[in-house]
Amino acid sequence: MMVDLGEYSRYVLGAYGVSLLLLGWIVWVSFRRAAKVRKALEEVEGRDG
């Protein structure tokens, strides 16, 4: 079931595509940063213990 977007379908679908790419990039960056912070925290906790 596809909604008929008429002459604007290219722009609407393009906007959806760009939005999905940006959301994917944000999630990827967040997980990458979380891993770096977790590693740094483990190093700090390891030195104190």
Of 17, 14, 36, the residue nearest 25 (C-alpha): 17
pTM score, two decimals?
0.71
pLDDT mean across residues, the chain: 91
Residue 30 — very low, low, confident or very high, per pLDDT cuts 50/70/90? very high
Residue 48 — very low, low, confident or very high, per pLDDT cuts 50/70/90? low
User: What does the domain layout of the chain look like in residue ranges?
Assistant: 24-49
Q: What is the mean pLDDT of residues 22-42?
A: 97
Distance of CA 37 to the CA centre of its chain: 17
Q: What is the mean pLDDT of residues 24-37?
A: 98
CA distances from 26 to 12, 15, 23, 31, 35 (A): 21, 16, 5, 9, 14
Q: Specify the long-range contacts of residues 13-16, CB closer than 8 Å, at least 24 apart.
A: none
